[in-house]
Structure 1
């Protein structure tokens, strides 16, 4: 934060500076966090830090910030003025969680501001992990050997009440003439700006007036952490004579408490809690006589003072920075998890705004951007192709399928035809005539990175070839795809991947649209259908109508393959397993909530909720489209539309994955944000899903 024209000489770890009184500076800071992929924002709030009425400029930052915010409140006012209350109400709306450091602060948030208790974490102020040592070990460092050291440290300002401690010294020195009072810290910068050093000079004048100037030592400087540890270590009694009861947090009190110092304090809120149960001594506000009595009493009873110190030090072990850091991380995790649990009221609000999920017009800019003369790139960094991971057969197969289906729906298009030619050329190059297998991964230098690809990638390539054979009017494409299909199909007989079987069955279904009399292909269809049926019977049971002991990726392709097989028992299993899968992937608000790839879903284990992938939505939409075509039941069409709306924001986070400005689709729905990269798989999943919805309209027209 910068509150003066010349700024501050912040260390290099400070990455961005906000000009306190410039509202636009706050929105720039929010954008800076966005482009740096910040996952959670820890906001330290104190009235007086931020610009505007009651620090209201901060609200512009939070309004712009689309990240989970955890707000630590250093002040909680019992009687806020209207501007302060407004800021607190907006903080409640814009923060995922609050952190307070005292029980009183927690109660005020609930009782005065109406903030939900479950949203608040009580985490103590962190302290240095210091050993319980004799103060004499440090005193020589600041020339206090043989002295009894009283200490106050921190930025000097009138609310610290240091006058009361100085005024107490004459009464202390009568009984303890060896006492010295150290006042460590620079004057508060805001005070310097308005009054210079008038406050410190007034304290020095007071000491001279009382004749204790030799016993009051000012260390006018900012001290490093190591120096602070030495001052704290050398203190016998720490004094916080603050004037304001509503002081909810005191870092200086926490530090000395954790170090096991004897403490005398006025009864402000933080001190009341921390020094309870004889862990310190409380004295009235602005009462020098009470301070003098308390100091003299402790020095007269060293055993009592040692017992008090031990109680403080033991309690302070719970407040060391490593413990506090872990508690903060737990709060951050809760804030991030909270994003994945949209409230029922928020879900209802979104449900009432159906136009929000209107199907957007086709926009293929990103598809063209992601394609070069070799093929389509696998991955993107944001919406820019990523050359490092280059190409794969999987995505070029998907892309070729899209071009065939797009032209079937919209008619011939020379630009789309050029894309189709590129993708098919890649598939032809990927096929190894010697091994009769497709290779999958290729680098940007057009070097294959493996001798043969996965079974799934091989089957997807067959799916692409079958789609062209069943639907394309381009004779050249059909002839080349016939070679790929005929040469690549026999290998599938030896595959063990259920998804490869399913992709191949979809490929066969497309192929048989044109060549229903091919007995060899029909026999392969029978083999693969039987395998999936056997798999289902072997693994399904009560509460688990599924083909495997774990539900993983592209799940709906398994029932989809059986539904389109046209064989009675297979169709029945396909429809029932698809219905079960849809039920298991429906959130509390009715939104599609697919099984996440971060752990998937073992039968006896917990279902992973994230990372949710666009390919899962496309698989369900395609399967539901097939089910609608086979049964004529409009419920399947409704399921497909609801899953498509997942792309548009009807999901667990209420955030759109489809980018209308680029025509690309973001890669995943994570626990608390969207993966902003727009890869080929995700983008094609969206556009293929959109084509499936159009196909449903044609089916509906035919059925009516």
Structure 2
């Protein structure tokens, strides 16, 4: 069995917090449960911390350090991690509501599992934003109570199949050793109550201390053990002032001699021994929002009689007479229930036995087994579908009508509300040039429809193409974007050369001559590249065509100037940022160099394309197109998501241009690798396109497929299929 590599992010020993303990317990439990798991621990480190992490830690991430999160993401990607598993708590990472963790997560490609240790019913704006972003990215969200799962659905919008409830893991110890451990700690003649965990005002300890006088009056030998160091955040803010207030309260009530303070973060074995010495465990959270309590889980698993306020986790864990629930902030109720249990040993023993029995379902071995099932459910399996060869046309026919091709679909249903655009109709016209005769009469009919749309898009008053048209056939603008205008010029040049009838070729040539002047003066590098590609096609029909020659040469000089300005030792690109259709810029330079016999332009195109392909190959060798989340980040490495089919078509066309320029078969390899992305050779191991219908999903996001099938995606797959067919001389 192949090893599954997990990047486990959380605290870790010797850091003293609940998340660190939990992460260490996961590491240990999974190691025992499976020898087919390799775990790389990425331990959160407080800024300025001087302690030495356990040797099991692969790397540390310093909270509040953006560079540290970015570096960890790069290391995770290089490691070939199959899964990223995050232990989430708001205060662990830095930034508003701990949002710095998102800087890491948006850069990693492996599927994400998140264990949410706090799920708030009434989050503030930052907390809501962070959890919703985690929901958008996570393949699975693990919570430890059904109540937390419901909150994820109702408050944060998680899908039902995204949420998994796995109770907090607990140790496996024998039942009934209370007296043995009382002797160990010198509690032989005492009735012992206990609360443990990092000391903070949200634990309700004041209420328990307030109940002590009534308890001691009935059972004078009662000892209340308050175990745990002051929470580090509270300690940083006010030192030990909170503990001192509690101690002053106990002294004022005359019960100071009945409280044992263990002001320390105990190692696991010592802590468990101390819990075993208790008769009753008390948790008195003052509100219902507490989603999960690891301390409560430990007390139940060790067979303690538990008295708790009815916060969400306690309601689930202690229901059906597995514990006793008392109202919030009600010291009288706590006193009555403690006194009753201490006075009735048989009742107390029965409650302890029921608690212990419930704890058997929560052992770390069970947690590990359930976690392994979650891991297996999201692990990528790249079983490629056969996708080379002829593809169907039903998907395209579904979103076309007498006006043109509709922009979007809701899953497979055409979405009329967004109407049409010249971008898609221009691409669709190019596709009709490349479909084979076996698609007649649909090919000719649709070619005329798309050409008519392009013709009507030209606005002679503005001297530009319009882009968006409503479903009512009314244009929504006087001029479209520069990119859409020059993409249309590209389609006209291609149709002038490849149109499937003489009449179609004459029409395209004529409209090119009337409209291509609009390509001058545009600012977008992609618009420049699109117009250059159209001009190159036109020059293939007529060497020396003046307008096309100017577009091609002026464009190449502009792109070369941009490259000279923006290139850096590790940044070989025409812009300071990456965007969509990146490969078209390199392709245009290669084509311009070949057409104009300018080896410097060709070399610039090849050099930039090599750089671009290098950063689009994942560590295990599959193609990873630059995701839209990368756009606009100056001189930054690309982020993996969202991945879109248009990048695949562009990569194959650019590789074809590079092969024409060099004859080097490496470009055939690059093209084939990119095309296999459609078949499942991608970051989610899932087929994006369907050969039988010729349809294609809208891309890959962190959770998997975008299940919509819009025009751009479908056309990109169809055109990529034609391009790979021609490049590799595959049968039609």
TM range (shorter): 0.5 to 0.7
2:604 corresponds to which of 573, 577, 581: 573
Give 1:220-259 correspondences, 5 Å limit. Answer: 245=301, 252=308, 255=311
Whether contact under 8 Å (2:285, 2:311) holds in the other structure is no
Normalising by structure 2, report the TM-score: 0.53
Higher relative contact order (CA 8 A, sep 6+): 2
Q: Is residue 706 of structure 2 the alignment partner of residue 675 of structure 1?
A: yes
1:101 corresponds to which of 155, 158, 168: 168
Q: CA deviation digits over 1:369-423, x for unaligned, max 9?
A: 100000100010001110010100000000000001114xx46722111011100
Give 1:256-271 correspondences, 5 Å limit. Answer: none
Q: Is residue 557 of structure 2 the alignment partner of residue 533 of structure 1?
A: no
The corresponding residue for 1:68 is: 139
The corresponding residue for 2:398 is: 369
Q: Is residue 514 of structure 2 the alignment partner of residue 487 of structure 1?
A: yes
Q: CA deviation digits over 1:251-273, x for unaligned, max 9?
A: 947849999xxxxxxx99xxxxx
2:496 corresponds to which of 457, 469, 472: 469
| SS across alignment from 2:622 | coil
Whether contact under 8 Å (2:300, 2:306) holds in the other structure is no
How far apart, in 2, do the equivalents of 1:247 and 1:651 lie?
49
Give 1:26-65 correspondences, 5 Å limit. Answer: none
Whether contact under 8 Å (1:503, 1:561) holds in the other structure is yes
The corresponding residue for 2:686 is: 655
Shift of 1:523: 2.4
Shift of 1:475: 2.4
583 and 101 in structure 1: CA distance in 2 versus 1, 3 angstrom threshold = same
Shift of 1:683: 0.4
How far apart, in 2, do the equivalents of 1:105 and 1:584 lie?
48
How far apart, in 1, do the equivalents of 2:696 and 2:305 lie?
46
Shift of 1:538: 1.1
> Whose radius of gyration is greater, 1 or 2?
1
Shift of 1:95: 9.8
Q: CA deviation digits over 1:27-50, x for unaligned, max 9?
A: xxxxxxxxxxxx999999xxxxxx
Whether contact under 8 Å (1:357, 1:645) holds in the other structure is no
| SS across alignment from 1:544 | coil
| SS across alignment from 2:720 | helix
Whether contact under 8 Å (2:725, 2:731) holds in the other structure is no
How far apart, in 1, do the equivalents of 2:442 and 2:306 lie?
68
How far apart, in 1, do the equivalents of 2:652 and 2:495 lie?
21
Whether contact under 8 Å (2:622, 2:681) holds in the other structure is yes
Shift of 1:174: 8.7
Shift of 1:358: 4.0
How far apart, in 1, do the equivalents of 2:219 and 2:604 lie?
95
How far apart, in 1, do the equivalents of 2:626 and 2:345 lie?
66
651 and 412 in structure 1: CA distance in 2 versus 1, 3 angstrom threshold = closer
The CA RMSD over aligned residues, in Å, is 5.1
Shift of 1:136: 13
How far apart, in 2, do the equivalents of 1:256 and 1:367 lie?
51
How far apart, in 2, do the equivalents of 1:655 and 1:249 lie?
50
Q: Is residue 463 of structure 2 the alignment partner of residue 396 of structure 1?
A: no
How far apart, in 1, do the equivalents of 2:453 and 2:726 lie?
27
390 and 248 in structure 1: CA distance in 2 versus 1, 3 angstrom threshold = farther
Q: CA deviation digits over 1:276-302, x for unaligned, max 9?
A: xxx99xx9xx986779999xxxxxxxx
Whether contact under 8 Å (1:601, 1:608) holds in the other structure is no
Shift of 1:672: 1.4
| SS across alignment from 2:453 | helix
2:584 corresponds to which of 534, 557, 572: 557
Q: Is residue 470 of structure 2 the alignment partner of residue 443 of structure 1?
A: yes
The corresponding residue for 2:573 is: 546
Q: CA deviation digits over 1:86-127, x for unaligned, max 9?
A: xxxxxxxx9998865356389xxxxxxxxxxxxxxxxx99x9
255 and 698 in structure 1: CA distance in 2 versus 1, 3 angstrom threshold = closer
Whether contact under 8 Å (2:145, 2:165) holds in the other structure is no
Gaps of 5+ in 1: 1-38, 45-65, 76-93, 107-123, 140-146, 151-170, 177-227, 233-239, 260-266, 269-278, 295-333
Q: CA deviation digits over 1:662-684, x for unaligned, max 9?
A: 42111121011211000000000
How far apart, in 1, do the equivalents of 2:306 and 2:171 lie?
13
How far apart, in 1, do the equivalents of 2:649 and 2:376 lie?
24
Q: Is residue 656 of structure 2 the alignment partner of residue 625 of structure 1?
A: yes
2:541 corresponds to which of 498, 501, 514: 514
How far apart, in 2, do the equivalents of 1:402 and 1:475 lie?
17
424 and 549 in structure 1: CA distance in 2 versus 1, 3 angstrom threshold = same
How far apart, in 2, do the equivalents of 1:293 and 1:529 lie?
85
Q: Is residue 713 of structure 2 the alignment partner of residue 642 of structure 1?
A: no
The corresponding residue for 2:623 is: 592
243 and 527 in structure 1: CA distance in 2 versus 1, 3 angstrom threshold = closer
Shift of 1:463: 1.1
The corresponding residue for 2:481 is: 454
Shift of 1:488: 1.4
How far apart, in 2, do the equivalents of 1:648 and 1:255 lie?
48
Normalising by structure 1, report the TM-score: 0.55
Gaps of 5+ in 2: 1-110, 117-136, 147-160, 174-196, 222-283, 289-295, 316-321, 324-333, 350-370
The corresponding residue for 1:429 is: 456
Shift of 1:133: 6.6
Give 1:322-341 correspondences, 5 Å limit. Answer: none
| SS across alignment from 1:542 | coil
253 and 600 in structure 1: CA distance in 2 versus 1, 3 angstrom threshold = same
How far apart, in 2, do the equivalents of 1:484 and 1:508 lie?
13
Whether contact under 8 Å (2:529, 2:588) holds in the other structure is yes
The corresponding residue for 1:686 is: 717
How far apart, in 2, do the equivalents of 1:72 and 1:568 lie?
60
Give 1:123-134 correspondences, 5 Å limit. Answer: none
251 and 564 in structure 1: CA distance in 2 versus 1, 3 angstrom threshold = farther
Shift of 1:485: 0.5
How far apart, in 2, do the equivalents of 1:605 and 1:231 lie?
45
How far apart, in 2, do the equivalents of 1:251 and 1:71 lie?
27
256 and 249 in structure 1: CA distance in 2 versus 1, 3 angstrom threshold = farther
